[in-house]
Amino acid sequence: MALTCLDLAAVVRDRGTLAEAAALAGEAREIADRLGQPGPSAAAARLVGEIAALRAEASPLTPREREIVVLVAQAWSNRRIAGKLVLSERTVETHVRSILGKLGYANRTELAARWTAPE
């Protein structure tokens, strides 16, 4: 089962569906660990790392913008985001404008409705 999940994760990764591939690779690792299979576990861990790197590269957002977009998607106000991240409200506004432009969303409401983490 672990090897099947691992192979499927690689196929799905190659198709570009990175979120699904990451889930499958993680499942492969859990199964391999539970069954005491160090080889498949190490292969799954490598694949998880590769997929994480691909997902980070796929995002047009900076790390700070990724932090902010998650909070905006949870309907947090700029003031609340600023307080949590120790930023000024103006800085958060600038980040939100940049995020909307990069992702092609018209407003915060559309962002909150449509945001999903990068595949």
pLDDT tens digits along 52-72: 888 777 778 888 998 999 899
Check: pTM over 0.75? Answer yes or no.
Answer: no
State the average pLDDT over residues 64-81: 92
State the average pLDDT over residues 80-91: 96
- Domain boundaries defined on the chain: 2-58, 63-114
Question: Alpha-carbon distance 38 to 79, whole Å?
Answer: 48
pLDDT attached to residue 20 = 87
Q: What is the pLDDT of residues 9-60, one digit of tens each?
A: 999 988 888 888 888 999 999 999 999 999 999 999 999 888 888 877 777 8
Q: For residue 74, give the 3-state DSSP assignment.
A: coil
pLDDT attached to residue 71 = 93
- Give whole-number Cα distances, 67 to 15, 18, 73, 110, in Å: 27, 19, 10, 17
Q: Which fold has domain 63-114?
A: Arc Repressor Mutant, subunit A (1.10.10)
Encoded tokens for 81: 């985001």
